[in-house]
Every structure is written in C-alpha cells, then in structure tokens.
Chains A and B, each alone.
Chain A
Amino acid sequence: MYKTTGFVSFFLRRLTGLALVVYLFLHMWVIGSANAGEEAFNDRLDFFQSDFFKLMEIALLAAVVYHAFDGIRLLIVHYFDVTDQRKSMFYAVFVVSAILTVVGGLPIFLYMLE
C-alpha cells in the first residue's frame, strides 16, 4: 500500500461517498413513507429521530462536510495551478471539516440532550 496524504484523502473520499450513497437511498425510503399518508410518515420519522439516530446524524454531517470540502479542493486543483500546495490543502480540508462538524454538531447534540 502506498500511503501518502493523497491516498488517505482518496480513501476517505471513496468511503464517505459510498456511505452517503447508502444513506441517500435509506433517506429516500424513510421519506417515501409519505406516499402512504401522513400517519405512516409521522410514525417512521418518530422512529428515526430517536437519540441514537441524532448521534448518527452528527456522523453523517462529518461525512458530508468532509466529502464536500475534499471536492472543493479538487475543484481548486482543476482550475488553478496549485499542485505544490497539495499537502497543506489536504490538512486544511481536515481542519475546516473538523471545525464545521463541531459547530454544526453541537446544536444537534444539545437538542438531543433536551
């Protein structure tokens, strides 16, 4: 295995990407209960808003934010000549996504405690 920052970012990009695809179809199935009417929707949504799923939502946020910023990094690489800064950009993506996950996860966590 050729372990570089590039490999780590690629691996995480794929991992979060595939996880998000699985989530997308689950998400569509959960909301799809609306086709069966208001009660079915409310019942299923109640189940998926328990404490456990709230915690999972923070993990989801982390995956989304990382995948998004990794994508922004690739856009920057495509449109500007910045391959020399590849290492610092890699770490910047990590720092930014960590900060945003904490900032975005805190309200969800506090709401869960209520």
Chain B
Amino acid sequence: MTNVTIRVQRFNPDVDQKPHLDEFQIELTQGKTILDALHEIKEEQDGSVTFRRSCRHAICGSCAMNVNGVNMLVCDAPLKDFVDRRGRVTIRPLPYLPIIKDLVVDRTSFWEQYQRVKPWLLPPDDVPEKEFRMSPDEVKALQDAEHCIMCGACYSACQVVAMSKKYIGPHALLKAFLRVLDPRDSAPGERLTDLDQGDGVFRCHTIFNCIDACPKHLNPTQAIETLRKLVMKRQAFEAARAQRQQSLDQPISVE
C-alpha cells in the first residue's frame, strides 16, 4: 500500500493574496483517477477544496485542469500514471485564466470568443424537404471536429491566448472550421472574412500546444492551416459552396 502526495493549488479570493499549494496524502489504489483523488480529499480531508466536475467519463468537459504542467481532463487520468519521481502529483487550475477559487477558473473570454464565430449552422434559404446529403469525403474533411467537448484545455494551453485574450482561440477556430467546411452552411464567406481580422486565424503562431492539450485528440492546428488556405481563396470557395448547395438534396453517388 503506497501513499501519494497530492499538491493542490489553493486560492480563496476572500482571504488569500496569491495562490499557494496545499499537500494531501492519498492512498494509491488500482483504477483510481485524479478526480477520484480530489473527491477523496474533499470528502475526507478538506471540504473547502473547490473544483468543477460533472459526468466523470470525459464527455462533459467540466474537469479540465493542469496536472504536472499539462492540461487534461482529470476524470480521464489514472492517478498512478502521473506520480512524479518524488511521489507527488501537482494539480493546478487551467493556466492563463482568472482564478475564481482553487481549481475553478473564469471562462468568460472562452465563451465570448466561441459566440463570436457563430458556432451554429447557417442553412441555405431553400431547405430541402427530406434531408441534406453529405458525401463520405465531405464528412471526412471535417476531421471529427464535432467531437469537441468545449473543455477549454486547448484554449488555456495556447501561448497566443496567454498574451492576448482578444485572440479567437483554438476552440473557436476549430468550430469555425467545422462550420466553414460543412456543405450545408451558406455563409462561409462571411465567416472567413471575420477570421481574417487582426486577432483571427493569422494570429496563430503554430505552437501546437492545442494539439498536445486536446483530450479528444483533435487537431486545431491543422484546422487553422486549412482555414488560412481558405481565407486566401475565399471568393472561389464561396462560389464552389453556392454551386454545391444546388444539389444538397440529391443522392450522393459513391463510386
């Protein structure tokens, strides 16, 4: 039976001037996740430890935190994999965001940027009577971007976000990529024009932190590179989209 030292960054805005680390001893057992350890601390050792969590199986995106310097979903992270050489696990809130309390951060800028890219589908005026049809290739081109769970791990890992909260951020760019490439969307031109702004898609410096941080193994960097190419040939892309939307209700011929 081994013990692990869990170091949790604490910050109570009513009392503390700046964050500090608290240490807790936790028994390391098979199958225990970092979230389980946090629950154990909260229930048995210090009820004031504050953190967000909900579903416990990596789909709600609430429990993104910074463990040993890396952003991840703690409900998805086995405790034994993150014990460092000195038998410790260090848990901090998502970096570069204002801390509300302990491990809870203020995600206002995250949601504001998300709203800005109009994350919903803008369908054409003539909606087909039955259903829209997409070819397998068109679905493949979306690179599973719809799997994003909005946990904020990529946003808070991004070095550009760290320097400027005006930058759109990888999460919103990935969503914009999903909508721009969707053949059912009728306004790719407007979307691409907005992404061409000073804090848009060209502000990315290809640091790859977003890929490293994503718990769903998505690829915002590749999406951003694709968007850059589309911004450069916006008019041709708009024309091709208008053309494509003529046949949205037609069956797809698979060769």
* Interface positions of A (Cβ within 8 A of B): 1-7, 9-10, 13, 74, 77-78, 81, 83, 86
Contact = CB atoms under 8 A, between A and B. Distances in A.
B95 A74 contact: no
Contacts of B209: 2, 4, 6-7
Given A10-B159, A78-B228, A83 B222 contact: yes
Which one of A1, A2, A5, A7 has the greatest number of beta carbons of chain B within 10 Å? A2
Contact of B206 (A2, A5, A77): A77
Given A3-B69, A78-B225, A86 B208 contact: yes
Nearest to B143: A81
B219 A4 contact: no
Interface of B: 69, 71, 95-96, 157, 159, 162, 205-209, 211-212, 219, 221-222, 225, 228
Contacts of A7: 159, 207, 209
- Helix, strand, loop or mixed for chain A's interface? helix
Nearest to B66: A2
A83 B211 contact: yes
Nearest to B158: A2
Contacts of A9: 207
B82 to A, nearest CB: 16
Contact of A2 (B95, B219, B225, B228): B95
Given A2-B69, A78-B228, A83 B157 contact: no
Nearest to B219: A83
Given A77-B225, A78-B225, A78-B228, A6 B207 contact: yes
Contact of B159 (A2, A74, A86): A2
B170 to A, nearest CB: 12
Nearest to B220: A83
Contacts of B206: 6, 74, 77-78
B90 to A, nearest CB: 14
Given A2-B95, A2-B159, A10-B159, A83 B208 contact: yes
Contact of A6 (B95, B212, B225): B212
A42 B11 CA distance: 63
B42 to A, nearest CB: 27
Contacts of B221: 77, 83
22 contacts: A1-B95, A2-B69, A2-B71, A2-B95, A2-B157, A2-B162, A2-B209, A4-B209, A6-B206, A6-B207, A6-B209, A6-B212, A7-B209, A9-B207, A10-B159, A10-B205, A10-B207, A13-B205, A78-B225, A81-B222, A83-B222, A83-B225
A43 B211 CA distance: 53
Contacts of B96: 2
Contacts of A1: 95
A81 B221 CA distance: 10
B208 A6 contact: yes
Contact of A4 (B162, B212, B222): B212
Contacts of A2: 69, 71, 95-96, 157, 159, 162, 209
